[in-house]
Structure 1
Amino acid sequence: MHTLTAIIRARKGSEATVRAELLKVGAFARDHEPETIGFFVAQDPDDPCLFTTYERFTDKAAMERHNNGAGSQGFFAAAGDLLDGEVTVVTASEVWPE
């Protein structure tokens, strides 16, 4: 299983829009990307501008299709100017469960 974790910071006052756009990515992945096994979005309750995603894919190629696909690209088109800084991305291979 290939994973991607993204740490995303919205500009103050833009949290609702960034949240809505992340939820659209999740819905798109659920409906159109069978090789995206999971797409989770979290919002920090103490800092509502801070979001993290945890994304699971069958393999690296599926992750790349997701990242280059309409859902992800739509997020950056809609919310890119509302982000505060660069998105931190960590990709990995799951080691548990085996």
Structure 2
Amino acid sequence: MITITAVITAKPGKEGVMADALLSVADHVRAAEPDTIDFFVAQDRDDPCRFTTYERFTDEAAMDRHNGSAAVADFFAIAKPILSGEVVLVTADELSAKRG
């Protein structure tokens, strides 16, 4: 299993736009990406401008399909002008998971 963790920070006042853009990607993943096993979006309790995503893929091809999707391109078109700093990405091989 391959995972990506992303930390994304929106400019103040743009957190609602960022949340909507991330949730749009989540909707796409749910409807059209069976090999994206999980796609979580979270909003920081202390800083509502900071979001974290955690993504799990069956393999590298699934990750590449997701990252090359129109939904991800649309997200970045919306997100780039409202980012506060760089997106922090960590791509990793999952070692352990607890399910249900």
TM-score by length of 2: 0.94
Q: Which amino acid aligns with 1:10?
A: A
Aligned length: 98
The runs of 5 or more residues in structure 2 that have no matched partner are none
Match of residue 84 from structure 2: 84
Distance in 2 between residues matched to 1:76 and 1:97, nearest whole Å: 29
Match of residue 25 from structure 1: 25
Q: Which amino acid aligns with 1:72?
A: V
Distance in 2 between residues matched to 1:8 and 1:43, nearest whole Å: 10
Match of residue 59 from structure 2: 59
Which portions of structure 1, spanning 4 or more consecutive aligned residues, are displaced by more than 3 angstroms?
none
Q: Secondary structure at the match of 1:51?
A: strand
Match of residue 95 from structure 1: 95
Shift of residue 19, structure 1, vs aligned partner:
0.4
Root mean square deviation, CA, Å: 1.2
Distance in 2 between residues matched to 1:92 and 1:43, nearest whole Å: 21
The runs of 5 or more residues in structure 1 that have no matched partner are none
Shift of residue 97, structure 1, vs aligned partner:
3.5
Shift of residue 57, structure 1, vs aligned partner:
0.4
Taking only the aligned residue pairs, the percentage that are identical comes to 55
